[in-house]
Homo-oligomer: A and B are copies of this chain.
Amino acid sequence: MPVKLLFIGDIIGKPGREALSRELHRIVDRHYVDLVIANGENAAGGFGLTAETAQDLFKCGVQMLTSGNHIWDKKEALEYVKREARLVRPANYPEGTPGKGSAIVSTPGGVKVGILNLEGRVFMNNLDDPFRCADKEIEKLKEETPIIFVDFHAEATSEKMAMGWYLDGRVSAVVGTHTHVQTADERILNQGTAYITDAGMTGAFDSIIGMKKEEAMERFITQRPSKFEVAKKDIRINAVVIGVDETTGRAVTIERINLACG
């Protein structure tokens, strides 16, 4: 049976964390999940991550956290990212950035999985080249394991698909995050890499990408800065389950999850 990786899309504040605390074990059971990875960049009040909110997620069963552009929003993350083995930030932040961009984690069954986090540049920060950065990181991870999971945190669909094809056959999965909207294009690419443009988000869906819809709408209408607050209604979990052949590291299945949980 393939190794089953569950990846949970950007967790938005308390509603997202609570949904996982109630439902994650069920998803894990139903899909025979071996390893739970989640994007935590919005877990603390919608912006950033703290040691405490990360702890919440580890308690639910998350084994590894990825992140993205919002990881620096809470000041304490600068320190936390250094000491927390179970947290990666995009690898293509410049040299000297606290924390690490990739990690090896083991499933309870002892299978090693490489986790690589990257951030896109189109319409985003001016980071190092995520493509060349991926080359280097993958070479390193390959020394440990053929199973590599990539969270590519990016805005533009073209950049995300380019990364999928660029890494096709070299990693087990390229899963996009950041837009907070799950895409319906999950597939196994030609050389065996599982791909989806965006895994979506875990939080309130009576919202604009997780935030209260009235406030987010106001920003478009007024073009003035406005406060954003985490929304609370219509909670859903967005995720993907990827089955990977343990020996080759090739993906054999990719399945979307969109679970309404109240």
Contact = CB atoms under 8 A, between A and B. Distances in A.
Contacts of A93: 222-224
Given A126-B122, A161-B208, A223-B127, A197 B217 contact: no
Interface string A65-109: 000000011000010000000000000011111000000000000
Interface string A194-215: 0001101000001111000100
A248 interface: no
A258 B125 CA distance: 33
A44 to B, nearest CB: 15
A183 B182 contact: yes
A129 interface: yes
B217 A165 contact: yes
A24 interface: no
Copies per assembly: 4
A181 B127 CA distance: 25
A157 B128 contact: no
Interface in A41-75: 72-73
A131 interface: yes
A259 B93 CA distance: 39
Contacts of A207: 161
Nearest to A225: B72
Interface of A: 72-73, 78, 93-97, 121-123, 125-129, 131-132, 155-159, 161-162, 165-166, 179-185, 190, 197-198, 200, 206-209, 213, 216-217, 220-225, 256, 258
Interface of A is mostly: loop
B200 A185 contact: yes
Given A129-B128, A166-B217, A225-B73, A161 B209 contact: yes
Contact of A181 (B95, B122, B185, B221): B185
A243 to B, nearest CB: 19
18 contacts: A73-B225, A78-B224, A94-B132, A121-B126, A126-B223, A128-B129, A157-B180, A157-B181, A158-B216, A158-B220, A161-B181, A161-B207, A162-B213, A165-B208, A181-B183, A183-B183, A183-B184, A184-B200
Given A217-B165, A221-B94, A123 B121 contact: no
